[in-house]
Amino acid sequence: MKVSFGFNCRDDYTGGYTSTISYDTVEGIHRVDYLPVVTYILKETGTPEGYVTAPEQTIQAD
């Protein structure tokens, strides 16, 4: 199965996008750098056929 994802970090105050960088390391770990320290909502926006959409999750960046 092929899996893909997208990552957008939008500032709800200005509507602009931050300078956050999202990438995979040579070790196979996905990193997100320069993520502002705030509360985020993790939301699945597309669900493959035959799967259930995950519920939204609130996460805190430290």
Query: pTM score > 0.75 for this model?
Result: no
Q: How does pLDDT run across 6-57, given as a tens digit for each residue?
A: 666 666 666 666 677 778 888 988 888 887 787 888 888 888 899 999 999 8
- With a CB cutoff of 8 Å and minimum separation 6, the contacts of 22 are 7, 30, 31, 32, 33
Beta bridge pairs of residue 42: 57
Please count the other Cβ atoms lying within 10 Å of the Cβ belonging to residue 9: 18
Q: How does pLDDT run across 19-33, given as a tens digit for each residue?
A: 777 788 889 888 888
Per-residue confidence (pLDDT) for residue 17, from 0 to 100: 61
